[in-house]
Amino acid sequence: MAVNDISLTSGMRNNLLQLQNTTSLINRTQERLSTGKQVNSALDNPTNFFAAQSHINRASDFAVRKDGMAEGIQTAKAADSGISAINSLVEAAKGLAAAALGTANTTDRATFATQYQQLITQINTLASDSQYRGTNLLTGATLTVNFNEDATSKLSVVGFTATATGLSIAVPTNVWTGDGDITTSQMHLASASTQLRTQSKNLANNLNIITTRQDFTDNMISTLKTGADNLTLADMNQEGANMLMLQTRQSLGTTALSLSSQAAQSILRLF
């Protein structure tokens, strides 16, 4: 039906237009109340909408990096556990060397040497088993942890070889034949202990950096999300009051439309 097919009075048209506007405002307010946002699309406020989207996208990028940091921490912790265990074996090997040096019995020394070799084998095994998700800092691998969204800020954790060979621990023959062989092993073990302590400190420093950046990332994600909310969230108290006022206006508008139609209906009284 064409618009001009039905003629309405000026008062009825004005009241109808006001009702349509009120209904549109009610629909908008209902959307804000249901979503909790006053900016739900670019049509509501292009500047705030796209600024909020930028904040949310950056927060999502940081969340991805946060997962990488968490995995990096676990990789470093796996290496630290390996270092602690290897250091315990080195200390046990020192005890065997001291015991062997304290006796001249060749049979006892042979026994100590065999036990020493077993400890060295376990050092190699521990170094090999200290990997996390395929990355093993105790076999010379390098772990790269990215901190920001475009990976321009990152940390490379350089591993080392914690095997007996990497720690320069020579494996003796089945029998420590002389005091010189034993003291040489003791020197190697002392050097290995020093290297393990140094690497443990380096690892702890890197771990501290990663955990600090992880905390920073948590704070940045929270800041970005709060910024996005500040640009888009609705005041629920205000929107609730708006809804009550609009419903009242709609009711009054309906009444006004009814009253304005009575003038047109009065013509029927002539018949």
Q: Are residues 133 and 60 in the same domain?
A: yes
**Among the ranges given (84-88, 115-119, 177-181, 222-226), the one the predictor scored with the smallest mean pLDDT:** 177-181
Total domains, the chain: 2
The confidence band for 269, taking pLDDT boundaries of 50, 70 and 90, is: low
Within a domain: residue 170?
yes
Q: Are residues 216 and 195 in the same domain?
A: yes
Is 122 contained in some domain?
yes
- How far is residue 116's CA from residue 181's CA, in Å, rounded to a whole number? 13
Rounded to an integer, what is the distance from CA 19 to the centroid of its chain? 50
Tokens of 53: 């989207």
CB 93 within 8 A of CB 116: yes
Query: Given a cut of 80, is residue 157 above it in pLDDT?
Result: yes
* Residues 69 and 168 occupy one common structural domain: yes
Residues 150 and 248 in one domain: no
**Which CATH number is 64's domain given?**
1.20.1330.10
What is the residue range of 242's domain?
236-271
Question: What's the mean pLDDT in 46-64?
Answer: 90
Residue 150: other Cβ atoms inside 10 A:
7
Q: What is the pTM of this model?
A: 0.74
Residues 6 or more apart from 220 whose CB is under 8 A from it? 59, 62
Residue 37 lies inside a defined structural domain of this protein: no
Contacts of residue 253, Cβ cutoff 8 Å, sequence gap at least 6: 15, 18, 19, 22
- Would residue 18 count as lying in a domain? no
For residues 182 and 248, membership in a common domain is answered with no
57 shares its domain with 190: yes
Q: Is the pLDDT of residue 6 over 60?
A: no
What is the CA 27 to chain-centroid distance, rounded? 38
- At 126-143, the pLDDT tens digits run 999 999 999 999 999 999
Which value, to the nearest 10 degrees, does the dihedral of the CA atoms of residues 186, 188, 194, 196 take? -110
Per-residue pLDDT, averaged over 139-155, amounts to 92
Q: Are residues 227 and 240 in the same domain?
A: no
Q: For residue 145, what are the β-bridge partners?
A: 155
| pLDDT of 8 strictly over 70 | no
Structure tokens at 76: 């470093």
Task: Answer yes or no: are the C-beta atoms of 162 and 86 closer than 8 Å.
Answer: yes
What pLDDT, on the 0 to 100 scale, is given for residue 142? 95
- Under DSSP, the state recorded for 234 is -
Write down the pLDDT at residue 260.
63
pLDDT at 243 over 90: no
Element holding 85 (H helix, E strand):
helix 46-101
In a domain, 218, yes or no: yes
Specify if 263 maps to a domain.
yes
* Torsion angle defined by CA atoms of residues 161, 164, 169 and 170, in that order, rounded to the nearest 10 degrees: -130
Say if residue 130 is in the same domain as residue 262: no
Residue 1 pLDDT class (50, 70, 90 cuts): very low
Give the integer Cα–Cα distance in Å for 134 and 236.
50
Tell me, yes or no, whether 187 lies in a domain: yes
**Looking at the structure, do residues 259 and 221 belong to the same domain, yes or no?**
no
**Confidence at residue 268, expressed as pLDDT on a 0 to 100 scale:** 52
Tell me, yes or no, whether 52 and 164 share the same domain.
yes
pLDDT of residue 96: 92
Could you tell me what percent of the chain has a pLDDT over 70?
Answer: 86
20 part of a folded domain: no
Question: Higher model confidence: residue 32 or residue 97?
Answer: 97
Look at residue 181 and tell me whether its pLDDT is greater than 50.
yes
Band of residue 270 on the pLDDT scale cut at 50, 70, 90: low
pLDDT at 180: 85
- CA distances in angstroms from 251 to 22, 57, 241, listed in the order given: 10, 43, 16
**123 and 79 within one domain:** yes
Instruction: State the pLDDT at residue 12.
Output: 67
> Does 190 lie in the same domain as 66?
yes
**Nearest CA to 79 among 126, 39, 29?**
126
Q: What does the pLDDT read at residue 264?
A: 59
CA distances from 208 to 155, 202, 237 (A): 12, 10, 45
